[in-house]
Structure formats: structure tokens, C-alpha cells
Structure 1
């Protein structure tokens, strides 16, 4: 359950009032170690219970810290497994955060969980688990926006990796510029003579999907092509993409090129590999295809699909920098940064095939 709205973090004074003891007693208990043994056990338990009720996280490293900060940043993912595998889509973000955190003199704490994506929560047990850190970098596709809103109400510092919006609050984020990258991809295809370009979008209406669609529309207009709503199709799971789908779109709509949102795993690229292996549709001879983002880490043994690549390491570095500026009061308002993507030519686009119906 999300805690009731409150401003700021609970203090030792708040705990003292709740437990009916002095602030000095609270300080002895929270400090831990031998000094806490000076406090009677019933009193110590009352202080700890009050701290838990208020959502106060005792930082075991506090004795070595300056002021109210402990020079400890957190990184939390809304995905069920933390990205520590180098093949994972999210792993380069982690690398960038870690590099910047170390360079700027902070330690990094990874918040992980063994629960499923549906159960994964910052507020496990009703308490903000991130409070042990000064602030946190958040990432992941399966975002719980109610928890982002709760963090804002608490004034807990965080930066999101990716553009995320809340209806009644502004948050800091570092995003990939999907709008410009998708628009440029459309322009590239138009330069190859493609006029019937299908955009295969995800069904969920997230900010990255909306940005890609905005870029698709902008690219068509810039290329002097009409926006045909029938060429914007949704597919719930890219793993379900088949040769039959492509044959249908080619025959019915005259499609000569397809733009598709990749998944963070191998589902899409596996489906495309299977289509190519069946030899019913050849890329790019029969249809050009480009990915609007990164597939899992590319290796030379895999098909080099035309795509644009996100600056994931740089995004991680920038998110850590922004968070530290918020913590050190060098920035008081939310900051929003969009970084350019890199075009990867690959081998899956080519000239439009003549003779397609218009």
C-alpha cells in the first residue's frame, strides 16, 4: 500500500515524538553498535517500531557521512530481474551510472528483488525501500506511476532513465531522442524511394512509443509523403510477427518498408530471423525493414539489422550527474535531457522494389 502523502523525510525528532522518548535516546538507538546497549530493550524496541511506522531508514553508514547525506546513490529497476547480464538491454545503463557515480565520489547501491514484475514495488510493506540511499536512478518499462507520484510527494530525489510523465508533477529524466531518430529513419527510407512505409508500433501507450509515432509522422511530412493511418499498425507481441503478416501488408497496402519497435529481449529478432530463413520474404530485396532502437547486444554472428542505437551508457552517466546535482542543491527544478541516437546502416534496407501497388 502506498504511504499517505507527506512532505520530506521523517526525522529523529518525529520518531522521538511517536515513541515518547527524547531525541538523544532515538540517536543512541539509531546509531547502533555498543552505544545502543545503553538503552533499555523495551525502549529500544519502541524506537525501532516508531521508525518503521514513519518509514525512517536507519543508515548503518551514517557515522562516516557528512551532514544529512551519505554519498550513496541507488539504482532500481521496475523489471523483475536486475540487469547484471551483459546481454541484457538494460546493462549498459548500469555501466554508465556506475562509471559516473564512482567518478563523482559516490557509492552505488543496487536495489533488487526476487518478486515477480506484478508484485515488484518500491513500497514493499508500505515503506520506501530506497530511503537508505540519498537518491535513486530508476529504469524499466513496467513503471508503477503511482509509486513515482509517491516519491515526488515525499521529495525523494530520483532521475528516470527514459522519458516518463506524471499528470500532476514534473520529474527529472534522461531520454533517448526517439522523435528525431525515427524521423531520420523515415527520411533515409524515403531517400531510397520508399513511399509506403509501415510503422509497426507496440500496443501499450508509453512515452517511447508515442515519441516514435510522432517521429514517424514528422519524417513523412518532411519527406513530402502523406500520413496514411492504415500504415500505422499495432502488434501486441513482436514475437508473433510472421511472413503472413508482411505478405498481407505488402499485398493490401503496397508496403515496401517496415519500421518496427524492438523488444528488450530476442523475441523480435528471432521472429525476423525465422521469416528470413523461410525465404518467403527477403530483406531488403522484397521489403526493407528497420528497427526503431536496439535489439539485445549485437554480435557478429547475428543479422545486422538496420536500426538506430540508443546512447545507453551516456544516458546512465547523465542520469547520475543530474541526480548528484539535485542532491547537492546545484539544481532545484526538474531537468529533462534527450540525447541523440546513432544510425546503424546494417543490411536490411535497400531501394524500393518497383511495381508495388500504390
Structure 2
């Protein structure tokens, strides 16, 4: 009878309309360009070398970013919507409008499906965007409280800045030592090779890492590659959030050189993630932004000299222009590639990213 088991199993599966072999839930990679609107993406096509990796996408949409308290969101409210599916007020870190903690996509995937988890940011790992994936506090400036949430979060891999919120705290706690006591392999000096059999944490600056124009080097693509290698080491699926933080800072500074270089660095990192998706088809990559910063446009370039009241146009050249040094209400792009990519085209509110991610995970397994 044992020789009849396999074909009978298949027959039952077809009869009951269930798969004979359940596929593992897909890996999820979420790449967030803080402050990255369509103009910032466009800069990669005009100022970069070669064809930008953005062009490798065919599933593209637009996302509305306003929070429940403001038409112009901040990073905290926007990341809360993406991470939890709940729209909240500006400054909220994964809490509802009445400040009740709301489970994040990272927490749900780990709890329901056993996902391994990773976070990378160029700012402090306690900054608004990364914090929204593991912490729950009423205000984004509660960095010490957010750091304490990371200690209890169980995140498998994290890399960024923010060392002072772990070691030089007002309450005297040494969270760095507490992480080590939990078994983390930690490094505060460099992005050294991860230990595949332990949780790994990298806190490489007291606050934020430098920008590209300040000499950051290849931290973002290197950390993305290292995180992928580490999270892929075991059989379990993984959730990996990577943030390109300084696109936003370039907008606040109205610094066109910084913006161009940060978007180029982001695109380089994107290429690494897209290559991974192509090599590992059971992976979903989502690329989006929390909001746009700077009211950026790409327009004709002019000489600074004005002759007879007219600026002199430079033929066939464009320049980055800023309308303000603040966030804007512009819709931001969303790109999808891999398992479940068809869930993401369209125009929708930012909290639907969470809903569509969960739907993709549940329908692709």
C-alpha cells in the first residue's frame, strides 16, 4: 500500500483543490527612500551613469502619504502606516491615533510564519523610519525608549547609527551590554563579517552615519548585501527593511549635489536587491518612500548671470530645483518585483502597502 500513497495524495490534493506541496512564504525586502518622490527618482536618469536600476521594474504605482493629523506627513506617521496598516498622527511610532501599540509587519510575519528579520538605516536605528518596524511609542523623539524596544524586539540583524542611545543614556542602562547578554554579536567600529549563527548588530555612529558628500562610502550597498547573505543563511523566510535616509536630508538642505549622490547610492543598492530577487524567485521586493522632501523639480538649467532681465538657458541641460526645504504632499512612487508583484500597481493610501504585503505573503505560499 505504501506505493499507492504518493499518487493517492496527489489525487486528494486535486480533488480538494489544495496544493500537493505548500511553498514557503516569500522573502520580503522593503527598500525605503526617505524623501524620495518621482523627481528624485528621475534624477537617476539624468545624472547617473548608465541605465538606472529603477528601469528594471514593470509593476509601478503611486502612494498617497497624508497622515490623520496633517496633509503633509512626517516620516513617523508615514512609516507607521507602511509598517502597521494603521494611519496615525505625525510623530507617532507604530501607535494608533489614541496611542495604542499596533503590531508591525515585522512582528506579524515573525509571529505567524517564523520570519527572520533585518533592518538597515543610514540614520540612528532609533530614527523614525526604522523604529516604526519594532517600537511603539507616542513620540519619535523618545530615542532612549525606542532603543529599549529594540533590545526586546528579537530583530536578527540591524545596522545603522545611534550608539549613544544604547550606551550614554540618562537612565544609566547599558543596552549595548544587554544586547550582548542576549547573544548578539555586536560591532561599533566597522561593518565586519556577520556571524551566521548568532544575531548581529552594528551601531557605527553616535547618532547618524555621514552623508555621501561627507565621505560615507558604500555602507548602504554593503550593509544590504551583508544582510541578504546573513538572512539567507537559514531555511526560514525573511523580512528585510533598508532605508536610504539622506535623500530626505538633501531636500531639507536644498543641496542638489547631495541629492544626486544619495539617489545614485540608493540605485546602486537597488541593483543588489534586484539581482537577489532574480536569483531567488520566491522573494518580493517593494521600493517606495515615506514622503517627498523639497518640492523637487528637474527643469532647464540656466546661467546665474541675468542679462536684460533674462536668465540664459544652457541647451540640453537640466538642474535640480527646490520649492522648499520641507516635506511636501506629493504622491510618491512604489515599485514591485518578484513573488506577489501584481498586488502593488495602482494609486492608493500608504497604509495599503501593509495590507498588500500581507496579502502577497498569504497568497504566494
TM range (shorter): under 0.3
Q: Taking CA–CA contacts closer than 8 Å with sequence separation of 6 or more, which of the two structures ends up with the larger relative contact order?
A: 2
Report which of the two structures shows the higher radius of gyration computed on alpha carbons.
1
Structure with the larger strand share? 2
